[in-house]
Amino acid sequence: MISPEISLGEMRNAHQKTSNILHKTPILTSENIDKIVGAHVFFKCEHLQKTGSFKARGALNSAILAKEKFAADGVIAHSSGNHGQALAWAAREIGLKCSLVVPKNAPASKSAAMFEYGADVVYCEPTATAREQTCQKLAKELGFYNVEPFNCASMINGHASLGFEILDQIGDKIDSIFLSVGGGGMASSIAFCIGNLRPDINIYLVEPEQKKLNDLLSNDVICPVDTLNTIADGVRVARIGSLCQPILKQFCNHKVISVSENEIREAVKLIWTRLKQRVEPTAALAFAGIAFHRPAHVKNAAVILCGGNVDIDFIP
């Protein structure tokens, strides 16, 4: 069952509260890419969002909630990068402290930015369990509001502003949307928002092939590993949040596309060289779904370029 904490009303509230601080990110297109893909692709540029990823949307909504509803002194989270950057920025924007638990294999560019936004950073082992346990312990000690990266209603409601913007900007042009899926925070937010408002738009979930999301959505069989070995560092978590799963099951069942690591690399190359946008591999994951596995009826698709935080020496 979908949590009653997640609703179009809360999504609209979040959009209203955050839109004057966030960017309304642009849409880019490329005739070159359209030819290669065989469909019109509209790229929603969340790598140009504050902090370089869509995470700023949910993080800002969550930090506002922590302050207004829970009167917290600070926020805390575990993050391999974008969530941490976004929360550190959001906390600074609205005057809260911020502590972040970071796995020690996180990309250097991402943890550097957390420091820049003034957060305290604590390193931990790179497993989902170590991240969550370290974070919960520290949250208790500090009395900070714990903002889960994806399994969190305020994050999910906050990300929906991305859905509203897409409908406003290109809602009359698209037949489908392609989303990268990690823990499912953004995917469930867009699926709930657009799935309810525009059920005619197909919402495709794109995953690294190891994740086996189809099994999870069809049979509740969870991928046996803790962390995926993928170049797309933003979706290394193997699980899907318990708040996200019923939403994805309702709106995106049988709409999972699995892509190989090589396809992700090729997708990065296409976006870098044709669109000239320096996105991170996790953003290219969504594009790999349509570039290499386009369902035949997809003619006009939105692809969310979810982030652009990638180390300077990374070559796809």
Residue 177 has, within 13 A of its CA and on its CB side, a CA count of: 31
Is there binding between residue 267 and a second copy (CB under 8 A)? Answer: no
Structure token pair of residue 199: 């059920």
Burial of 128 (0-12, 13-18, 19+ CB in 10 A): middle
Is there binding between residue 278 and a second copy (CB under 8 A)? Answer: yes
Using CB under 8 A, which of the segments 78-86, 188-196, 251-259, 274-282 binds a second copy? 274-282
Strands 27-28 and 40-45: antiparallel
Is there binding between residue 296 and a second copy (CB under 8 A)? Answer: no
State which of residues 126, 246, 295, 316 lies at the interface with a second copy (CB under 8 A): 316
Q: How far is CA 251 from CA 88, 196, 198, in A?
A: 32, 9, 11
Q: Catalytic pick from 79, 80, 154, 189? A: 80
Is there binding between residue 276 and a second copy (CB under 8 A)? Answer: yes
Is there binding between residue 163 and a second copy (CB under 8 A)? Answer: no
Residues within window 32-71 making contact with a second copy, judged by CB under 8 A: 47-48, 52
Is there binding between residue 170 and a second copy (CB under 8 A)? Answer: no
Q: Catalytic pick from 50, 55, 211, 212? A: 55
Smallest CA-to-CA distance from 192 within 163, 232, 230 is with: 163
80 has catalytic annotation: yes
Report whether 218 contacts 278 (CB < 8 A). Answer: no
DSSP state letters, 169-211: HHTTT-SEEEEE-SSSHHHHHHHHHHHHH-TTSEEEEEEEGGG
Query: 153 vs 279, which CB is nearer to a second copy?
Result: 279
Q: What angle do CA 158, 207, 23 make, to 5 degrees?
A: 30
What amino acid is encoded at 241 in this protein?
Answer: G
55 has catalytic annotation: yes
Nearest distance from C-beta of residue 33 to a second copy, angstroms: 13
State which of residues 26, 141, 220, 261 lies at the interface with a second copy (CB under 8 A): 26
State which of residues 210, 277, 292, 293 lies at the interface with a second copy (CB under 8 A): 277
Please work out the total of residues on this chain that contact a second copy, with binding judged by CB under 8 A: 18
Active site residue ranges: 55, 80
List residues near a second copy by CB under 8 A: 26, 28, 47-48, 52, 109, 269, 272-273, 276-279, 308, 312-313, 315-316
